[in-house]
Amino acid sequence: MTQVADPIAVFDSGMGGISVLKEMVGLMPNEDFIYYGDSKHAPYGTKTLEEVRKLTIEHISDLIEHNHAKAIAVACNTATSAAVRILREMYPAVPLVGVEPAIKPAVMACENPKILVMATPMTLHEDKFHQLEALYINQADIYPVPCPGLMEFVEQGILDGDQLDNFLKGKIEPYLDKGITGIVLGCTHYPFVRKRIEAIAGPSIEVFDGSLGTARELLRRLTVAGLNRKDDHKGQVTFLNSSEDLSKIQLARNLFEREI
């Protein structure tokens, strides 16, 4: 039987979902959270749809059935496109949110939007993205930019330096003469390198990510289900990771404590 005091589980292929977790803890400081990173199997973004679907369903089922999670945030764009629809069918009573690239606010932010969407190859390849893109295609120029290799910097705790800057320049600079107005961070790992992306893109380009919107949506769903805590409990975050490398837990804590 689900209890209001049960934890909320936040899931990602590795460290990226910590960017979403931070917004959730800010919004719901009295809730307990379990953060599960599947670093052993990361990256997800270059795997097949079937592989990502299987891994995501396995881990989320475990979080609900063994860790007694009362609600789930799939804090990974790639896993969201592969598995959220199926998970909602499997667990209709569990409040569950996914993430998707924040194209809407980027389109609404200006008159002639020209937007880069940085994300994993799988996110940009899936129907979910094509349907989202189709909603705005008449109002904006949208340039999908697959970034295989970028999440690995964050997984290794590399958040600045020449190697990272050269990688980002290779992705962003070819578009700068198109009058880009916004960059959407369509992978939850990327907010950790947001400052470098902003520095390379320059001050006239606004950078968007959907973490706060996802946190608000989870709170809304919890409230509708009557599962949000109303006491003044001091919420705890427990970090779990599938990797045998114990330094992943320390990296997760460091990223959680770091200002984005």
By annotation, the residues acting in catalysis are 76, 187
Q: Of the two residues 8 and 42, which places its CB atom closer to ligand DGL in the complex?
A: 42
Residue 77 found at the interface with ligand DGL (CB under 6 A): yes
* CB of 254 vs ligand DGL, minimal distance in Å: 17
Omega before residue 43 within 30° of 0, cis: yes
Binds ligand DGL by CB under 6 A, chosen from 39, 120, 181, 241: 120
Q: Of the two residues 41 and 70, which places its CB atom closer to ligand DGL in the complex?
A: 41
CA-wise closest residue to 38 among 29, 47, 30: 47
Residue 56 found at the interface with ligand DGL (CB under 6 A): no
What's phi and psi for 95, nearest 5 deg? -60, 125
Q: Which of residues 122-151 bind ligand DGL (CB under 6 A)?
A: 123, 151
In the numeric block, the tokens 């749809």 are attached to 49
Residue 59 found at the interface with ligand DGL (CB under 6 A): no
* CB of 191 vs ligand DGL, minimal distance in Å: 10
Q: What is the DSSP string of 10-35?
A: EEESSSTTHHHHHHHHHH-TTS-EEE
Residue 241 found at the interface with ligand DGL (CB under 6 A): no
Binding span for ligand DGL by CB under 6 A among 39-47, 89-97, 165-173, 238-246:
39-47
Residue 189 found at the interface with ligand DGL (CB under 6 A): yes
Binds ligand DGL by CB under 6 A, chosen from 8, 18, 76, 222: 76
Site string for ligand DGL, 149-188 (x = CB under 6 A): --x-----------------------------------xx
Q: Cα separations (Å) of 45 from 144, 153, 186, 245?
A: 14, 14, 11, 21
Residue 206 found at the interface with ligand DGL (CB under 6 A): no
# of chain residues touching ligand DGL (CB under 6 A):
17
What's phi and psi for 141, nearest 5 deg? -90, 125
Query: In angstroms, how far apart are the furthest CA atoms of the chain?
Result: 57
Name the H helices within the chain.
Answer: 18-27, 49-65, 77-90, 103-108, 121-125, 127-136, 150-155, 162-172, 194-201, 211-224, 247-257
Distance of CA 182 to the CA centre of its chain: 18
Give the binding site for ligand DGL (CB under 6 A): 12-14, 16, 42-45, 76-78, 120, 123, 151, 187-189
